[in-house]
Structures are given as structure tokens and as C-alpha cells.
């Protein structure tokens, strides 16, 4: 009987992370099902199986449940595998916002680089209720292939703009007029996508700009095929900016919370266009710093991270590590069940509207 795997999706970004893993599973003759809770299921393809209830999940009986988020239904069958939802894991540099927090939901953490792996291994030694494997990130498999995904038909400099939604770090409200002016000049081509939690009034302003000079990608659409068309990336503090570095695309940011020599950060909208022009020249020091930093974030460039994730799961299943029982987490489990019930009610609205 083929191995069965479940993908747990609670945010739109999960689709792009998990699909390379689905491809690898299918190549091995395995089966995949998706459980969507908390966001639209509209991005699912016709050949992708969706499960809607816990009873259906139990009948499907997956050997592993993959989750890019921080939590999942602990009572689902199968080992729980965390594949993370962005680069870097500790993306804002603070322990409060770090993903280096073990909450007791996962059996296996699939890490991306030496630093991440050592950090989780150290925590596993203190409280050995989970295993760690350095595998790489499935989404990067698709990113590395994006150069040839969509043929480029525009010779103008192409700027990919993405913004996070958090009020104190988002650049989207401030850059509306700048991006409109630049794209109306005809000199630039923009590709724009915004965080799914971005206020709708901001989203609509960018959506309304769509024309031959600006391509707008909805938050539940896959933007990876467009990444390979990009000459320079414009951002703020969204972790998407790091993904472009693996395509050797220089990055310009407006008041980022993640500054460093690997990008060009400016403190005012007036400096954005000059900074983009500088980035287009690909200054050697900038590019060298960017490549070195990308290597620290993710050690693999072979496009085989999904295969390594599956290999790690297979090792776990065939030779289960000696682990302690997970923490009881009674209060967390109570809160999680309450959250799942709330998400289930919201899911009805998503499904009716989608």
C-alpha cells in the first residue's frame, strides 16, 4: 500500500511551500491529501484531494502530517512534521518573534542550515521529545526552477514588490504613489503581491493599478513562476525578500527591520527609485554579501530539499528515534481546540465565498 501523507494548511502561503513536496511524494508513488482550515481552499487544483473532517483524516490514515505553521491538530494520525513558513527561521532577530520555540506539537523539525539545525538539536537534547533533520526547505525547490517557469517578454527593468501587513513595518501605504508614478513612466515593469492580511483598502489601490506596466498577483495565487522574471526586489520586512536572494536578485527595502550589507535599505520614499537603479547595477560588494548571507540561511542549492524531507520522514518511520512523550500541554490543547472550532466556523464562510 502506498504511503499516505496529509498537508495541513492554515495560511495561503502554505500551498507554495507544500506543492514541491507533493511532487516528490507522487514521484515515489505516494498519496497526498490536503486539510484546509482558516483560509481559502480556492488554490487547490482539480487533481488535489481535500479532506474536510477529522473522520475523513482518520480514514485516510496518513503516516505523516506536514505543516508550515506553528500549530496543527495534535490528534490527527501520523507523525507531525514542521517544514517552516519562511526564511530565516528567526526572521526578526528577537526571541519573542522567533520560531525557535518548541510548543510540543511536532515530532520532527526539518531545518535548513547549520545554525538552525544546531539550535534545534540543542533544545532536543534538553527536552528530547522531538527529532531534527537538516533537509532544506521544500519551497526553495520551486523557487530555483522559476527562472524557466514563465518566459520573459519585457525588456524593461522588472521590480517585484511585496509587503508584509504589520502596521509598523509595512511599506505598502507609503509606496502607492511612488509605484504608480514609476510604472506610469513606462520605464519600469512591476510585479506586485501583498500579504493576505493586508487591509483591503490598500490592496484595492494596488489592484487598480494593474495594466501593461504592472502585474498584480492576488494573495492566494502562486507568485513563484514570476520570481524568475525579476531584476530587483522591493520590500520592507517580509521574509519573501530572502527568497529572491537565491535567484541572485538584489533587494531594496524601505525601513526594514532586518538590515544588513546583503540589501540596500532606505529611510524615505524619495530614495526608493535611486536605490533601485543602484541595485540594477549589481554592486559587487552587495552581491557578494547577499550570496554569503543566503548560504547561511539555506545550505542546499540542488533543488532536492523535498526529497531530503521525505527521506527524513522515512528514517523516522522505519527506525523511530527514542523520544520522550510530548508535554501534556493541557491548557494549550484546550486553547487549540477552541481555536480550531473558531477556524472551522470561519472556513464555512471561506468555502461559501470561494
Phi-psi region of 234 (alpha: psi -120 to 50; beta: other; left: phi over 0): beta
Q: Report which DSSP code applies to 211.
A: B
Angle at which helices 172-184 and 272-280 cross, to 10°: 60
Can you tell me whether residue 221 is helix, strand or coil? coil
pLDDT over 60 at 1, yes or no: yes
Give the class (CATH, top level) of 150-297: alpha beta
pLDDT digit string, tens, across residues 7-60: 999 999 999 999 999 999 999 999 999 999 989 999 999 999 999 999 999 999
pLDDT grade for 348, boundaries at 50, 70 and 90: confident
pLDDT grade for 151, boundaries at 50, 70 and 90: low
First to last CA, the chain: 34
Question: What pLDDT score does 153 carry?
Answer: 67
Q: Read off the C-alpha cell for 240.
A: 519573501
Full DSSP string of 43-81: T--TTSEEE-SHHHHHHH--SEEEESSS---TTSSSEEE
* 266 beta partners: 254
Percent pLDDT > 70 in the chain is: 95
Question: What pLDDT score does 101 carry?
Answer: 76
> What's the burial of 167, exposed, middle or buried (CB within 10 Å: 0-12/13-18/19+)?
exposed
pLDDT grade for 97, boundaries at 50, 70 and 90: very low
Query: Do 150-297 and 4-142+303-353 have the same topology in CATH?
Result: yes
Position with higher pLDDT, 204 vs 345: 204
Q: Read off the C-alpha cell for 219.
A: 494573495
Domain ranges of the chain: 4-142+303-353, 150-297
pLDDT grade for 282, boundaries at 50, 70 and 90: very high
Name the fold adopted by 4-142+303-353: Rossmann fold (3.40.50)
Between the alpha carbon of residue 75 and those of residues 22, 48, 78, the distances in Å are: 22, 23, 9
| CA proximity to 195, closest of 214, 167, 176, 159 | 167
Amino acid at each position: 500500500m502506498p504511503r499516505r501523507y496529509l498537508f495541513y494548511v492554515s495560511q495561503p502561503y502554505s500551498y507554495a511551500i507544500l506543492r514541491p513536496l507533493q511532487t516528490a511524494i507522487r514521484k515515489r508513488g505516494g498519496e497526498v491529501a490536503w486539510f484546509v482550515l482558516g483560509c481559502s481552499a480556492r488554490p487547490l487544483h482539480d487533481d488535489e484531494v481535500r479532506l474536510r473532517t477529522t473522520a475523513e483524516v482518520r480514514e485516510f490514515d496518513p503516516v505523516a502530517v506536514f505543516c508550515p505553521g506553528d500549530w496543527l491538530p495534535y490528534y490527527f494520525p501520523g507523525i507531525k512534521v514542521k517544514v517552516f513558513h519562511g526564511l530565516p527561521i528567526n526572521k526578526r532577530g528577537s526571541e519573542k518573534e522567533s520560531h525557535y520555540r518548541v510548543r510540543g506539537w511536532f515530532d520532527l523539525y526539518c531545518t535548513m542550515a547549520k545554525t538552525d539545525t544546531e539550535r534545534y538539536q540543542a533544545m532536543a537534547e534538553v527536552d528530547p521529545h522531538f527529532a531534527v533533520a537538516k533537509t532544506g526547505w521544500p519551497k526553495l525547490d520551486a523557487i530555483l526552477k522559476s527562472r524557466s517557469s514563465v518566459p520573459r517578454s519585457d525588456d524593461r527593468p522588472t521590480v517585484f514588490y511585496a509587503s508584509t501587513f504589520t502596521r509598523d513595518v509595512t511599506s505598502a501605504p507609503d509606496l502607492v504613489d511612488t509605484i504608480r508614478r514609476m510604472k506610469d513612466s513606462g520605464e519600469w515593469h512591476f510585479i506586485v503581491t501583498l500579504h493576505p492580511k493586508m487591509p483591503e483598502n490598500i490592496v484595492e489601490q494596488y489592484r487598480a493599478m494593474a495594466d501593461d506596466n504592472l502585474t498584480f498577483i492576488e494573495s492566494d495565487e502562486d507568485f513563484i513562476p514570476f520570481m524568475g522574471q525579476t531584476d530587483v526586489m522591493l520590500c520592507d520586512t517580509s521574509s519573501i525578500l530572502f527568497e529572491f536572494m537565491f535567484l541572485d536578485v538584489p533587494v531594496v527595502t524601505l525601513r526594514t527591520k532586518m538590515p544588513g550589507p546583503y540589501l540596500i535599505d532606505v529611510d524615505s520614499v524619495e530614495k526608493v527609485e535611486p536605490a533601485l537603479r543602484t541595485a540594477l547595477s549589481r554592486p559587487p560588494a552587495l552581491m557578494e554579501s547577499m550570496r554569503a548571507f543566503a548560504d547561511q540561511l539555506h545550505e542546499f542549492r540542488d533543488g532536492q530539499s523535498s526529497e531530503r524531507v521525505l527521506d527524513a520522514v522515512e528514517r523516522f518511520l522505519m527506525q523511530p528515534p527514542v523520544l520522550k512523550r510530548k508535554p501534556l500541554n493541557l491548557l494549550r490543547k484546550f486553547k487549540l481546540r477552541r481555536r480550531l472550532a473558531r477556524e472551522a466556523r470561519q472556513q464555512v464562510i471561506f468555502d461559501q465565498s470561494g
